[in-house]
């Protein structure tokens, strides 16, 4: 019984993800939702796009205007600590908001969504 309690206590802290609420445009949120179907989860799609942005750092200036022009909404994503830190760092480096970083992520994920629609 004692070992079972210890095992269950370890399991309760198993999730190292953080639930973060972001303000982003409705177009970006819609693209992330569609990419979530492709990648299995919306948070996983955001994680993939943030890692690509961090490694390339060239897509932040190429955010499509139709994504930036749509009205704002708020979404909560349960993300790993590293992804949250990268979103913050990308925003600080380019003097951008976290919503603009997620809009850049949506711009990257749009190609995945288009590819999935073809098949």
Sketch the domain layout of the chain as residue ranges.
17-118
Name the residue among 52, 53, 51 with its Cα closest to residue 79: 51
E strands present in the chain: 17-25, 72-80
What pLDDT sits at residue 60? 67
Q: What is the pLDDT of residue 27?
A: 92
3-state secondary structure of 72: strand
pLDDT interval class at 118 (50, 70, 90): confident
Q: How far is CA 104 from the centre of its chain?
A: 10
Question: What are 23-69's pLDDT values in tens digits?
Answer: 999 999 999 999 988 888 899 999 999 998 888 876 667 777 888 88
In the predicted model, what is the mean pLDDT of the chain?
84
- Structure pTM? 0.79
Residue 9 has pLDDT above 70, yes or no: no
Nearest CA among 85, 102, 69, 94 for reference residue 17:
85
């Amino acid at each position: 019984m004692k070992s079972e309690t210890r095992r269950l206590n370890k399991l309760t802290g198993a999730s190292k993800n953080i639930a973060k609420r972001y303000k982003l445009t409705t177009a970006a949120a819609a693209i992330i939702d569609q990419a979530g179907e492709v990648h299995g989860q919306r948070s996983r799609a955001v994680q993939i796009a943030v890692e690509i942005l961090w490694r390339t750092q060239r897509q932040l200036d190429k955010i499509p205007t139709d994504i930036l022009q749509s009205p704002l909404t708020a979404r909560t994503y349960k993300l790993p600590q590293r992804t949250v830190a990268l979103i913050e760092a990308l925003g600080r480096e380019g003097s951008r908001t976290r919503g603009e970083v997620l809009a850049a992520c949506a711009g990257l994920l749009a190609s995945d969504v288009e590819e999935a629609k073809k098949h």
